[in-house]
């Protein structure tokens, strides 16, 4: 009933939201002679904060209109080139003869299925577009996938990646590279190992694993430890709920986005409270730039999606509790994954020196698992002074990490 209560709560507060919104508009109206006074600004700011706190945040847009390639402004056209029940593959088409003439290699960015939408990697995509023909996995909110489409667990995740890599090979006539950002490192490494063992012509030319929990026994962080403090039955009984009508995924069992968000917020509650207090003060002062920056961040941060129950529970149990891949026990549809089968696929692992989500050494463990890979196909990079998100976003990502990735992928083409 938890999901139903959540939906009822949203519906119940809707009339109040309309009233508060009208009050805010009235307080800020140029026709209001008191609009510039401190009491009016304070009341309008309070209304704004209430509206933001009770808003239902939808899926954000990527909004990448153009990128600069060799000093040329290149328009970007976003197009869905593959559709699957649980995932679309988006192509960021560089719509300019200069970019087309470069014949840059294709790369599939595998976005994490960990609560937030793929748009969280907007900065990742924008930086990669300078040197690559970029695609991304755009995972579908599980509450929008009909129950008739079946289950989606780790095995199906691996199947999807193999399917998309095959589609890219057919589309480009060459092996695409792939980047796994955080959680996808496990299924991407598994998919690559299976394709390598099968000598699949569509196996990736190289894979880049960024802040990925390949072996969480190494330098365990607080999130890693939380996953091991309770049996899997506790997670099944306490965080898994049923999608209510009228959502398309009616009766599907999910780990809902609103519960994930409460966990995200609780991890850094003081920081979020300070940020919202500053936002209130900025609204009162009329600091539009700071208020807009805060709003932009939280419009993304508070937009969350439901995960299928099987995917979430299997990830907790198989990745964080049993460490199956690291122990050589990870199987896909009963077939054991053998990373040692990877012999001609480039492997780059990237870690942040201050990552408090994926501990130091957890991603590098992939290098040990791929024991038959020659040194010419390997690279490990530690980026000092960046946390988890700094590995794939921000100034250090753009100036130091992305150029290394581009150089490595080119060497493996």
Task: Tell me how far apart the alpha carbons of residues 303 and 119 are, in angstroms, rounded to a whole number.
Answer: 10
Q: pLDDT, tens digit, for every residue of 167-210?
A: 999 999 999 999 999 999 999 999 999 999 999 999 999 999 99
Q: Is the pLDDT of residue 353 over 60?
A: yes
Per-residue confidence (pLDDT) for residue 280, from 0 to 100: 45
Cα–Cα distances (Å) from 257 to 101, 145, 241, 353, 380, in that order, read 42, 15, 11, 29, 33
Q: pLDDT, tens digit, for every residue of 68-101?
A: 999 999 999 999 999 999 999 999 999 999 899 9
Q: pLDDT, tens digit, for every residue of 295-340?
A: 565 566 677 889 999 999 999 999 999 999 999 999 999 999 999 9
Is residue 93 within 8 A of residue 64, CB to CB? The reply is no
Q: For the chain, which residues make up each domain, given as ranges?
A: 1-56, 67-226+307-411
Class of domain 67-226+307-411: alpha beta
Per-residue confidence (pLDDT) for residue 275, from 0 to 100: 47
349 CB-near residues (< 8 Å, 6+ apart): 208, 209, 210, 212, 363, 364, 366, 367, 379, 380, 381
Q: pLDDT, tens digit, for every residue of 262-297?
A: 555 455 546 545 544 555 455 455 655 555 665 565
């Amino acid at each position: 009933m938890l999901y139903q209560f959540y939906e009822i709560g949203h519906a119940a507060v809707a009339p109040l939201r309309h009233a508060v919104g009208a009050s805010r508009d009235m307080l800020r109206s140029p026709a209001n002679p008191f609009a510039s006074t401190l009491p009016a600004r304070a009341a309008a700011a309070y209304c704004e904060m209430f509206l933001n706190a009770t808003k239902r945040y939808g899926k954000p847009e990527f909004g990448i209109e153009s990128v600069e390639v060799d000093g040329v402004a290149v328009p970007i056209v976003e197009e869905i080139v593959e559709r699957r029940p649980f995932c679309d593959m988006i192509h960021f088409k560089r719509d300019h003869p200069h970019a087309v003439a470069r014949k840059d290699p294709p790369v599939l960015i595998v976005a994490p299925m960990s609560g937030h939408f793929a748009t969280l990697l907007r900065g990742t995509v924008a930086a990669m577009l300078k040197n690559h023909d970029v695609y991304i996995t755009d995972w579908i909110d599980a509450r929008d996938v009909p129950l008739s489409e079946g289950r989606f667990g780790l095995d199906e995740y691996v199947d999807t990646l193999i399917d998309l890599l095959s589609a890219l090979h057919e589309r480009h006539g060459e092996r695409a590279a792939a980047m796994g950002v955080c959680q996808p490192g496990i299924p991407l490494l598994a998919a690559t190992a299976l394709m390598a063992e099968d000598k699949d012509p569509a196996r990736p030319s190289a894979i880049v694993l960024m802040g990925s929990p390949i072996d969480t026994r190494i330098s365990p962080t607080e999130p890693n430890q939380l996953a091991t403090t309770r049996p899997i039955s506790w997670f099944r009984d306490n965080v898994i709920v049923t999608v209510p009508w009228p959502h398309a995924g009616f009766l599907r069992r999910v780990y809902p986005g609103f519960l994930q968000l409460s966990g995200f917020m609780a991890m850094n509650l003081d920081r979020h409270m300070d940020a919202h207090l500053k936002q209130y003060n900025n609204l009162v002062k009329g600091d539009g730039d700071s208020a807009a920056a805060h709003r932009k961040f939280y419009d993304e941060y508070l937009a969350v999606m439901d995960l299928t129950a099987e995917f979430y529970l299997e990830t907790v149990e198989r990745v964080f509790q049993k460490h199956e891949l690291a122990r050589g026990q990870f199987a896909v549809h009963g077939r054991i994954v053998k990373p040692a089968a990877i012999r001609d696929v480039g492997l780059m692992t990237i870690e942040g020196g201050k990552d408090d989500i994926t501990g130091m050494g957890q991603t590098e463990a992939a290098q040990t698992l791929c024991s038959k890979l020659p040194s010419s196909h390997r690279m490990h990079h530690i980026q000092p002074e960046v946390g988890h998100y700094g590995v794939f976003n921000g100034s250090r990502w753009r100036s130091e990490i992305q150029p290394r990735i581009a150089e490595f992928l080119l060497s493996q083409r």
